[in-house]
Structure 1
Amino acid sequence: MASPKFADRVKRFLGIDPEDTFDDSSFYDDGSYIESEPSTKDFVRGLLPTSTGVINYLKELFPFVNWIFHYNLTWLLGDIIAGVTVGFVVVPQGMAYALLANLTPEYGLYTSFVGFFLYWAFATSKDITIGTVAVMSTIVGNIVERVQKEHPDMSADVIARSLALISGAVLLFLGLIRAGFIVEFIPLVSIGAFMTGSAISIAAGQVPGLLGIKGVNTREATYKVIINTLKSLPKTRLDAAMGLTALFGLYFYRWFCNYMGRRYPSRAKTWFFISTLRMAFIVILYIFVSWLVNRKVENASDAKFKILGTVPSGFQHTGAPGINKEVLSALGPDIPTTILVLVIEHIAISKSFGRVNNYIINPSQELVAIGFTNLFGPFLGGYPATGSFSRTAIKSKAGVRTPLAGVFTAVIVLLALYVLTSVFFFIPSSGLCALIIHAVGDLITPPREVYKYWKTSPIECVIFFAGVFVSIFTNIENGIYVTVAASGAVLLFRMAKSPGRFLGRVEVHYATRESIRGAGPLSDAAESEKAHLTFIPLDRSDLSNPQVDIKTPYPGVFIYRFGEGLNYVNCARHLDNLTIYVFKHTRRTQLNKYEKVGDRPWNDPGPRRGKVINNEEIAARPTLRAIILDFSAVNFLDVTAAQALIDLRDQFNRYTAPDRVEWHFAGVQNRWTKRALVASGFGYEARGASSEERDAAGPLVAVAEAVVTPSTAEDEKAQSQEKTEVDIEAAAASRSASSGGSSREARYVPLYGINRPYFHVDVETALASVVRNLERKGTASAGEDS
């Protein structure tokens, strides 16, 4: 480490004053509390991993260690029931969703098996189910179709599996570096618009298959699919009888179970489990009907209506996907969309069910889970998988206890792969279309939620509809980008236009609502001994009662509260508003500062030639004495904002010359914000003043009661008695009486460092300090450096 003298030489060589360290500790050598700003070493130390941090990081990577050793039979029973219940749903859904991805049905089963089998080891959510989902499958299908137009020799399974492998690697990397915070940049309205637009697009694309209509390109924009479907209604085939009745059966089945559950509350759970089996029941029923009609058919193309056809048994597509330079180049533009959809669906669903079931997920660890699943899945034939809303809801309501339930679902999928594939031959394709339409219907945001968006934030409601319309009239991917970009733009706009308020003081008393409604005067009900000062906007933007008299803080003193932080985006707006308001309500300290008319600046020309200054009007205004900035909403101060404060301070000092404006800061909580203010010359007295001069004219320091042992109190009593204007003996006696004669002694100590006296715990303390300073100076023109 370099010696202090060497460091001073380096500073001088770089043009930095070695004395400019902002360290006032030499003035306070009496044992008082001294604040020290964080150093660069502290910053670097905070970035370096510690042994404890490394151990915690490894524990977070495998969260099952925290609960697996507590596993019991009750948990096992709940997991088996939930896992098997979801298994009956995921088998038909997986095959149906694989068709959306332009793949054969078995790929849906491969993807579902891998997701359920692997997720539990990395999960921080007991409810989420990873596997095939309608939205992701549709996007994969669109990507497959686009890539094959440019590369006809590239098979669909290679495209889909490669897409999963690449996106899984990226997500795993983001999870390992704990970058889960990026999901917070995706707002709820974006998720809602994405889900709603996707559900409408998917449902519209399944209607031609539901009716047996051929020749409709379901990969076009949704509005075109709807128009072309309506034009092709005369081409409806026998498939419509299977599809429409299946769709009606699904909705009637669910309605009937819900009705019976409400009518017989004691058996509500039984009816819930019956309801969850509706997809499996309908599929089995229509397999039987299809078999009766097509039992003599050996080739699926000869069936009287379209059927699923041959589904190979077992894992027939294992091994590494054939990734090469050509595949990477073809999939490059689609990787961001894939990752965004995987993250949106999974994190949104897991966080939602975590709040419902009273636990917290770790977004970074969830990225690890879906990353590892998609990285390993392609080796068994899987394509991109993420969390499913419908299956997660079923799993949660089924009483799942731990993430291990996914293993039991994986067993059901495995049995289906090896035992039931011959039965799948007769599944009507229109029945699978009905199943998809029924499943995505739950993804549409209900009107009551949209109305809540409107009541909460109308602009975000507009963004919601914009995302839905863009998804319908272009594609799902564009809908995602529009909502995320629009929400980001609104956020930046709010930051840039964040409101700041000038505050006034009001003396507040406490009273009950009953006393306010009574006939007697409020003064009879108010508890005057509990009265305190509060500070509210002078413009009454907080909807305060207009009958209340809001008083200015003090002549020439202004309190300004930042609404949403102070940074390079909004500092100019805030400080310009501050300047305009202050100039409007104050006057210069020297009214006739300029001897000649030509000496005046262009923006302060004074009276017209031959006119005189209206001294009575201007003299009625106070001079600017102090500025109090409420930093309770400011967590960080960047270089631009700090420089803007310096420029404003210099401007106000020229305005009040020869006096100087006092700058006080309330509610500064962040150490680095305080360091930035100190480095900008705020928070401490001017250099050159003696300790006595500082104490005589310095601001008030907030003190709080501290309890120490008698020996410590005796050692520090003499030093603290001179500097603290508090009756220590009375405080100690009061403390002793309240504690029943305890052996400990109480005294008052500074809450924050006394070397930073212009930083205050709250606005009330800051104002009290300003008033004390001004009154002790005697007149507003008594210029002392702040």
Structure 2
Amino acid sequence: MRRKLQALLPPLSWLAHYDTRAFGRDLLAAIIMTVLVIPQSLAYAILAGMPPEAGLYASILPVVAYSIFASSATLAVGPVAVIALMSATAVGEIVSQGIAGYAAASMMLALISGVILVAMGAFRLGFIANFISHPVISGFISGSALLIIISQLMPLLGIDGGGRTSVEMVTTLVTGSGDVDPVTAIIGVCSILFLFLASKYAAKGLSAIGLPGAAALTIAKLAPMIAVIVSTLIVAVRGLSDNGVAVVGQVPGGLPALAVPVFDLALFEALLLPAALISLIIFVESTAIAHRLASKRNERVNPNQELVALGAANITAAIAGSFAVAGGFSRSAVNAAAGAQTQVAGVLTALGIALVTLLLTDWLYYLPRATLAAAIIVAVSSLVDIRAIRAVTRYSRADGTALVITLLVTVSVGVTPGILSGIGLSLLLYLHRTSRPHTAVVGRIAGTEHFRNISRHQVDTVPHTLILRIDEGLYFANARYLEDQIAQAIEHHPDVNNLVLMCTAVNHIDTSALETLEAINTRLEASGVRFHLSEVKGPVMDRLRQSDFLAELSGEVFLSTYDAWKALCESNRSSVASNSANT
């Protein structure tokens, strides 16, 4: 019972050994994280189309809920750019159809995503995320980052307007170029320059003056808060909000009012697909970060437990009047670099943000939106990975194609079509590749038991015998291709009376492929060619024994290709000797 409870609530396994030293490190990390998270939370709430305070709410109770169920010690959960954009896109379509209001749809989206994540964890379905290939994720994140950057250029320059696609947003930028507010543009551009230079050189500069590397990196990450404080003071002192500079405005103080979103069937049906996609991205992005952090600490992350924890965080976000959350790379990296030991750091960070929400929201009134736009642009610019496009394309043209198309569709059409096109294209490319598997006629390397492609190596062959290797599992999509390859091989070697199918790489044979093997056996036998198999794996052999194929096989099943080689060599010698005697 105790073990089951610890599996459900991983913190129970380490709380008994938690000491004041670990608490001190967690407290320091929480103080740093509180300062870092506030501008991020406000910025990503606006990116998600929610009021600024929703970003603060998303950084309080959801963080506590995640900490209760998390298997990762240092993953920091909260609002993140890509999920905020996906939420804004999905909810924007709902609002445009008049199905629900923005806040209600955002909360329902978080709730459905949370339920999906918990269900996936309960039924141990974390493997589903494996259907999204890394190139597709890379293309989607890069495309989303570019879309976010384009969307933030308008508030950065003080241009009114918007749009859901890059075409609409670029059109707004072009047509509104004459309406750029000079003061807003100066604040925005200066903020970008400061944040960009800080991200590139602050840590190196602080290390050069003697600060330890981790401390220098952590302080450098506080640059967004410095930009927020300085720009807010300038706007407040100079009264720039009265002269056209857009500010955050009144941020309600106090903790969120908890309420379960009202269920609406039409809203649920409209949000189900976007919620499923967001759930997958939340899981893939968060667990990738968690595994990376855990590997540095020699710790283990349980993917199915992370599904439950992330689901609990999103359900809580919905109840707290917020939007979908996930593990964030920048905040998790800072959390780890600041010395966080456990998820207690997350809970303390949530308490710190709760205090800010209760006591200090009045100070956020004059925060310019241009500064938040600059913070978003600099934060997501690192997600645009051009080098990955070159590296992936150089290694695999198919994967590179999937990456580029996912990126282009995401930028030009939207995030949901982008990720769907990437997944669909990856599956189609996989089916195309496996439907035409590599096959090779092989021979024995002299003096060994190894068999290699006769086109690549100097090998020995057996007269009147053909050994064909297929490098893929056999299933409905490639069964006919195998039949064609064998027919071509026999056509090119009309003197063959033994054909061995080398099954080293065959991990499964489905029903369609089994029927094809039976047809091949019948056709070869009618042509006077015996059909053999070699190196059939145990699980595949177990399935074949449940059919009539082995009983009807004209040849034999050899344990190894070398055994087949020896037996057929001996058979060939016996046949030659018999023919000589008859002559």
Give the TM-score normalised by the residue count of structure 1.
0.69
Residue 223 of structure 1 and its aligned partner are, at CA, apart by 3.2
Counterparts of 1:63 and 1:765, CA distance in 2: 52
- Unaligned 5+ segments in structure 1 are 1-53, 508-530, 588-622, 688-698, 700-756
Matched, 1:675 2:548: no
Among residues 242, 247, 260, which one is paired with 1:320 in the alignment?
260
Percent of paired sites with the same residue: 25
Q: Secondary structure at the match of 1:532?
A: coil
The equivalent of 1:69 in structure 2 is 16
The equivalent of 2:557 in structure 1 is 758
Matched, 1:96 2:24: no
The equivalent of 1:231 in structure 2 is 175
Matched, 1:334 2:245: no
The equivalent of 1:490 in structure 2 is 429
**Residues 194-233 of structure 1 correspond to what in structure 2 (within 5 A)?**
194-214=140-160, 216-217=161-162, 219-233=163-177
Q: Secondary structure at the match of 1:438?
A: helix
Residue by residue, what CA displacement relative to the aligned partner does 1:295-338 show, whole Å, maximum 9, x if unpaired?
Answer: 9xxxx7x4652211111122243211122234324434533343
Among residues 84, 107, 111, which one is paired with 1:137 in the alignment?
84
Counterparts of 1:265 and 1:501, CA distance in 2: 62
Query: Higher mean Cα deviation, 417-426 or 326-335?
Result: 326-335
Question: Contact (CA 8 Å) 1:663, 1:683: kept in 2 or not?
Answer: no
Residue 360 of structure 1 and its aligned partner are, at CA, apart by 4.7
Matched, 1:505 2:444: yes
Matched, 1:464 2:403: yes
The equivalent of 2:195 in structure 1 is 250
Counterparts of 1:647 and 1:127, CA distance in 2: 57
The equivalent of 1:581 in structure 2 is 489
Question: Contact (CA 8 Å) 2:195, 2:224: kept in 1 or not?
Answer: yes
Question: Contact (CA 8 Å) 1:260, 1:268: kept in 2 or not?
Answer: no
Q: Secondary structure at the match of 2:247?
A: coil
Instruction: Report the CA distance shift for 1:265/1:535 in structure 2 as closer, same or farther (over 3 A).
Output: farther
Superposition RMSD in Å: 2.9
The equivalent of 1:83 in structure 2 is 30
Matched, 1:281 2:231: no
Among residues 665, 673, 678, which one is paired with 2:534 in the alignment?
665
Question: Contact (CA 8 Å) 1:261, 1:269: kept in 2 or not?
Answer: no
Among residues 508, 518, 530, which one is paired with 1:636 in the alignment?
508
The equivalent of 1:606 in structure 2 is none
Question: Contact (CA 8 Å) 1:646, 1:680: kept in 2 or not?
Answer: no
Q: Secondary structure at the match of 2:534?
A: strand
The equivalent of 1:692 in structure 2 is none
Matched, 1:174 2:120: yes
Residue by residue, what CA displacement relative to the aligned partner does 1:554-599 show, whole Å, maximum 9, x if unpaired?
Answer: 1222222221211121122123212321242133xxxxxxxxxxxx
Matched, 1:406 2:354: no
Instruction: Report the CA distance shift for 1:130/1:315 in structure 2 as closer, same or farther (over 3 A).
Output: same
Question: Contact (CA 8 Å) 2:410, 2:416: kept in 1 or not?
Answer: yes
The equivalent of 1:117 in structure 2 is 64
Matched, 1:419 2:218: no
The equivalent of 2:249 in structure 1 is 309
Q: Secondary structure at the match of 1:323?
A: coil
Question: Contact (CA 8 Å) 1:196, 1:444: kept in 2 or not?
Answer: yes
Counterparts of 2:184 and 2:237, CA distance in 1: 15
Deviating above 6 A after TM superposition, structure 1's stretches of 4 or more consecutive aligned residues are 54-58, 684-687
Counterparts of 1:266 and 1:96, CA distance in 2: 30
Residue 108 of structure 1 and its aligned partner are, at CA, apart by 0.8
Instruction: Report the CA distance shift for 1:776/1:123 in structure 2 as closer, same or farther (over 3 A).
Output: farther
Residue 353 of structure 1 and its aligned partner are, at CA, apart by 4.1
- Code of the aligned partner of 1:416: V
Among residues 523, 548, 556, which one is paired with 1:651 in the alignment?
523
Counterparts of 1:161 and 1:779, CA distance in 2: 84
Residue 409 of structure 1 and its aligned partner are, at CA, apart by 1.7
- Unaligned 5+ segments in structure 2 are none
Find the structure with the greater CA-based Rg.
1
**Residues 310-459 of structure 1 correspond to what in structure 2 (within 5 A)?**
310-332=250-272, 334-354=274-294, 358-445=298-385, 447-459=386-398
Question: Contact (CA 8 Å) 2:63, 2:313: kept in 1 or not?
Answer: no
Residue by residue, what CA displacement relative to the aligned partner does 1:610-633 show, whole Å, maximum 9, x if unpaired?
Answer: xxxxxxxxxxxxx413x3332221
The structure whose RCO (Cα within 8 Å, separation 6+) is larger is: 2
The equivalent of 1:768 in structure 2 is 566
Which is richer in helix?
Answer: 2
- Code of the aligned partner of 1:505: R
Aligned residues: 579
Residue by residue, what CA displacement relative to the aligned partner does 1:517-562 show, whole Å, maximum 9, x if unpaired?
Answer: xxxxxxxxxxxxxx5332111122xxx5xxxx3221x122222222
Query: Higher mean Cα deviation, 62-71 or 465-474?
Result: 62-71
Question: Contact (CA 8 Å) 1:85, 1:276: kept in 2 or not?
Answer: no
Counterparts of 1:234 and 1:461, CA distance in 2: 39
Counterparts of 1:165 and 1:250, CA distance in 2: 34
Matched, 1:537 2:461: no
Matched, 1:108 2:55: yes
Question: Contact (CA 8 Å) 2:57, 2:256: kept in 1 or not?
Answer: no
Question: Contact (CA 8 Å) 1:390, 1:442: kept in 2 or not?
Answer: no
Question: Contact (CA 8 Å) 1:167, 1:371: kept in 2 or not?
Answer: yes
Counterparts of 1:669 and 1:69, CA distance in 2: 48
Q: Secondary structure at the match of 1:243?
A: helix
Residue by residue, what CA displacement relative to the aligned partner does 1:702-755 show, whole Å, maximum 9, x if unpaired?
Answer: xxxxxxxxxxxxxxxxxxxxxxxxxxxxxxxxxxxxxxxxxxxxxxxxxxxxxx
Q: Secondary structure at the match of 1:629?
A: strand
Instruction: Report the CA distance shift for 1:319/1:497 in structure 2 as closer, same or farther (over 3 A).
Output: same
Counterparts of 2:273 and 2:474, CA distance in 1: 37
- Code of the aligned partner of 2:117: L
Instruction: Report the CA distance shift for 1:183/1:60 in structure 2 as closer, same or farther (over 3 A).
Output: farther
Residue 468 of structure 1 and its aligned partner are, at CA, apart by 1.8
Give the TM-score normalised by the residue count of structure 2.
0.91
Matched, 1:550 2:459: yes
Counterparts of 1:503 and 1:321, CA distance in 2: 64
